[in-house]
Amino acid sequence: MIVNMKNLLQQAKNEGYAVPQFNINNLEWTRFILEACEEKQSPVILGVSESAVEYMGGYQTISHMVQDLVQYLNITIPVVLHLDHGKTIESCKDAIDAGFSSVMIDASLYDIEKNIEITNQVIEYAKKRSVSVEGEIGQIGSNSTDINQILLYVQKTDLDALAPALGSVHGVYKGEPNLDFETMTLLKKNIQVPLVLHGGSGIDDKRIKKAISCGICKLNINTDLQIEWSKEVRKFLQNNNTYDPRKIIKSGEDSMKNAIYSKIRLFGSYGKA
* φ/ψ of residue 30, rounded to 5: -60, -45
**Footprint of ligand 13P on residues 47-76 (CB under 6 A)?**
47
92: DSSP letter? H
Query: Is the sign of the CA dihedral 46, 50, 54, 57 positive or negative?
Result: positive
Least Å from the CB of residue 135 to ligand 13P: 13
**Residue 198 touches ligand 13P, criterion: CB under 6 A:** yes
CB atoms within 10 A of CB 270: 16
Least Å from the CB of residue 74 to ligand 13P: 28
Q: Toward ligand 13P, which CB reaches closer, 106 or 253?
A: 106
Choosing from 84, 94, 106, 224, which is the catalytic residue? 84
- Is 158 labeled as catalytic in the residue annotation? no
Residue in 12, 18, 23, 94 binding ligand 13P, rule: CB under 6 A: 23
Residue in 89, 152, 156, 170 binding ligand 13P, rule: CB under 6 A: 170
**Residue 135 touches ligand 13P, criterion: CB under 6 A:** no
Q: How far apart are the first and last CA of the chain?
A: 11
SS3 state at 222: coil
Cβ distance 49 to 23 under 8 Å?
yes
Cβ distance 43 to 77 under 8 Å?
yes
Which residues are designated catalytic?
A: 84
Interface positions with ligand 13P (CB under 6 A): 23, 47, 84-85, 170-171, 198-201, 220-224
